[in-house]
Structure 1
Amino acid sequence: MTRCAVFGTGSWGTAFSMVLADAGCRVTMWGRRAALVDTLNATHENPDYLPGVRLPDAVTATADPAEAARDAEFTVLAVPAQTLRGNLERWAPLLDAGTVLVSLMKGVELGTTRRMSEVIEEVVAKEGAGAAGVRGRVAVLTGPNLAREIAARQPAAAVVACADEAVARRLQTACHTPYFRPYTNTDVVGCELGGAVKNVIGLAVGIADGMGLGDNAKASLITRGLAETARLGSVLGADPRTFAGLAGMGDLVATCSSPLSRNHTFGTNLGRGMTLAETIAATKQTAEGVKSCESVLDLARRHAVDMPITETVVSIVHDGKPPLVALKELMSRSAKAEGH
């Protein structure tokens, strides 16, 4: 039976642990809170993030990272994007050489503008015993994967991206179930950018919803948001076809249209007039786009890529600009051809 470690006991880490177990793997989750770990083992339920959902018997939990990592063929990282580096610096020496490192995170690191796979490669190459050939062992799982729906075993598809196609196929097999259908891809850059930027566009569409704007406005934000993502991806060497697939349009549609999306909900509260502090206080889980919008914009500026929707989101979320003022400024930009 394939051994998997899942570092993180949030909603997505928990739901993906279920997927792995349903696909025939034995899963050990790591959690930082001993009380939650004890509850997971005693009740096979995660009451903090997926209440009412029973976990398979093949899923257990521990607060000891060494125990979680031991003999794992796949090591899944499911912590908030901005905490990855600090956590992984502690975990890397514990990881088995040759383990496949799987990122579930959708963000860009503040300050460095590194994608999550780049952070993993950098840290493991420096701290880990199995540093040789680490790039070919880093995989990304992304797509329209709302955790609550997957925990209910509703049908979903995803993309497994890795520079080494054989590794991608191994992970594909490890998480393929009757309700979860993964596809492979070697375009790690495009898949990660699609996942990171869609959170920012999800905030924008949520703000539009909160302001009471119509479907025309939301459809325009989604479409032009995808254009921003593709522009950035082109400069960074992504395959443009990726953005028409599950990691691009698929994930964007799910995030921008579902009330289960944390980023959409966060944006909706801002659009309704709540302050940033009030919205953060009302949000129980991490909305990655809130921090990543700054790092995505920083990445775009470093490469001279125009991303006006992302810039507008940053001005609302972090600069305190009223959404109505930001909307007027966005709509008053000079007209141009659609392909630009």
Structure 2
Amino acid sequence: MTQFIPLPERLPLRAKPYEKLAVLGAGSWGTALAALAKRAGTHVSLWGRDVEAMSAVATRQRNATYLPDVPLPAGIDATTSMQQALDGAEAVLLVTPSRSIREVCAEAARHLDAETPVALCAKGVEAETGLMMTQVAEAELGVRPCGVLSGPTFAREAALGHPTAATVAFPFTHQDRLAPAASPAARLAVSVSTESFRAYLSDDPIGVEIGGAVKNVIAIACGMMTGAGFAENTRAALITRGVDEMKALAEALGGRRETVTGLAGIGDLSLTCSSPTSRNMALGMQLGAGKPRTACFDGRAVVVEGELNALSVTQLAHRMRVRMPICETVRAILHEGDDLGLAFARLWSSPIEGEPRTLAIALDHPAHADAVTGLARRIA
């Protein structure tokens, strides 16, 4: 009989949490992260622009606008003064929408020490420059560690204590590899981890960021097909091939393909593509059901990150010479006036390819003409 020999136990290292954490951005996810960090025992300052909302967080432990039914822990220092929020902060979570990252970073730079680590929690690519959010932050903040916190995280569920996991990613210096428990990634991870929120570490912020940006676009595609009446097979195909698009772009930018198979890639993609709680999925479902864009969300001006990302991600992919056919299809529908049914029919009847990259082959699709006529009509 073969004797089973257990692997030697790996003793965990002990990382020191940051004593004070500043959270810039008091939307649903910023508020949830502030609540998690406070429950983890960290002193937390939460910055937002709305005076009444910040007063309610501080005095009534509620964010009535974004998380109205979630009780927040007492003791969060909520303020509309960025200088006050950043005073004494040992680390910063930047949780504003991607389109305002540059502006907020420029303001924050006036109040931050040069060595204070900043983790970006917004997901996207800056349309004007093609820069990732960490690169935008680095350009405005100067020399300091910039990383990412990302994963499959609906804010309300995380704030209510539903078991949730996310990835904290920073570049690892030589010193970080010698003493990983003292790295910004490790210290931030233990600063937000609670009995219900679990952080994982990564040294590949590029791969993590690409997962967060591209998943929004793929979720719109899944929503479109769900709204058009299709079900699980279709969504599974879009998710799986969407992961391949994530991997290709991440690798082209210097990230690692395996990062995309983690929480911030396929994890976040699976969540966003499976629930109308996601604004990206919800937008796609309404468009797939035939609503014009102006009528979606009952005509309210709802910002949908994937709608912006459909442009910025594909522009970046063009520069890097990376093919992203699903993202290109979403871009064509949202920004170029392409017919939804015809666009997806062309995607589905494009040349048949090998699934592994090493099998470089393309075959004419035998039902291309039928797809453009029949499938397009079914979607419409």
3-state SS of paired residue (2:44): strand
1:201 is aligned, of 218, 229, 250, to 218
In 1: Cα distance, 2:166 partner to 2:194 partner: 12
1:211 is aligned, of 228, 241, 250, to 228
Report the equivalent of 2:41.
Answer: 24
2:290 is aligned, of 273, 277, 296, to 273
* Contact 2:38/2:76 (<8 A) preserved: yes
3-state SS of paired residue (2:84): helix
3-state SS of paired residue (1:45): coil
Deviation at 1:32, TM superposition (A): 1.0
Distance 1:285 1:150, change over 3 A: farther
- Taking only the aligned residue pairs, the percentage that are identical comes to 39
- Tell which deviates more after alignment, 312-321 or 168-177: 312-321
In 2: Cα distance, 1:32 partner to 1:69 partner: 14
* Contact 2:219/2:284 (<8 A) preserved: yes
State whether structure 2 residue 96 is matched by structure 1 residue 79: yes
- Tell which deviates more after alignment, 157-166 or 296-305: 157-166
* Contact 1:233/1:239 (<8 A) preserved: yes
Report the equivalent of 2:184.
Answer: 167
Q: 1:75-128 deviations in whole A, cap 9, x for unaligned?
A: 111111011112211221112332210111111101111000111111111xxx
Report the equivalent of 1:139.
Answer: 147
Map residues 237-316 of structure 1 onto 2, 5 A cutoff.
237-279=254-296, 282=299, 286-316=303-333
Distance 1:4 1:247, change over 3 A: same
* Contact 2:164/2:197 (<8 A) preserved: yes
* Contact 1:159/1:185 (<8 A) preserved: yes
State whether structure 2 residue 82 is matched by structure 1 residue 65: yes
In 2: Cα distance, 1:312 partner to 1:216 partner: 19
- Tell which deviates more after alignment, 14-23 or 317-326: 317-326
Amino acid at match of 1:118: Q
TM-score using structure 1 length? 0.94
* Contact 2:58/2:75 (<8 A) preserved: no
* Contact 2:168/2:202 (<8 A) preserved: yes
Report the equivalent of 2:26.
Answer: 9
Deviation at 1:169, TM superposition (A): 0.6
Distance 1:8 1:47, change over 3 A: same
Deviation at 1:284, TM superposition (A): 6.8
Amino acid at match of 1:147: A
Deviation at 1:259, TM superposition (A): 2.5
Report the equivalent of 1:157.
Answer: 165
Give unmatched runs, 5+ long, in structure 1. 126-130
Report the equivalent of 1:191.
Answer: 208
Amino acid at match of 1:182: A
Q: Based on CA coordinates, which of the two structures has the bigger radius of gyration? A: 2
Q: 1:269-298 deviations in whole A, cap 9, x for unaligned?
A: 111112222226656753211101100000
Report the equivalent of 1:122.
Answer: 139
**RMSD across aligned positions (CA):** 1.4
* Contact 2:123/2:209 (<8 A) preserved: yes
Amino acid at match of 2:171: A
TM-score using structure 2 length? 0.84
Map residues 94-133 of structure 1 onto 2, 5 A cutoff.
94-125=111-142, 131=143
Distance 1:78 1:282, change over 3 A: farther
* Contact 1:191/1:242 (<8 A) preserved: yes
3-state SS of paired residue (2:93): strand
* Contact 2:220/2:283 (<8 A) preserved: yes
Q: 1:125-147 deviations in whole A, cap 9, x for unaligned?
A: 1xxxxx3xx2xx21200111111
In 1: Cα distance, 2:298 partner to 2:23 partner: 27
In 2: Cα distance, 1:264 partner to 1:116 partner: 22
In 2: Cα distance, 1:281 partner to 1:64 partner: 34
* Contact 1:297/1:310 (<8 A) preserved: yes
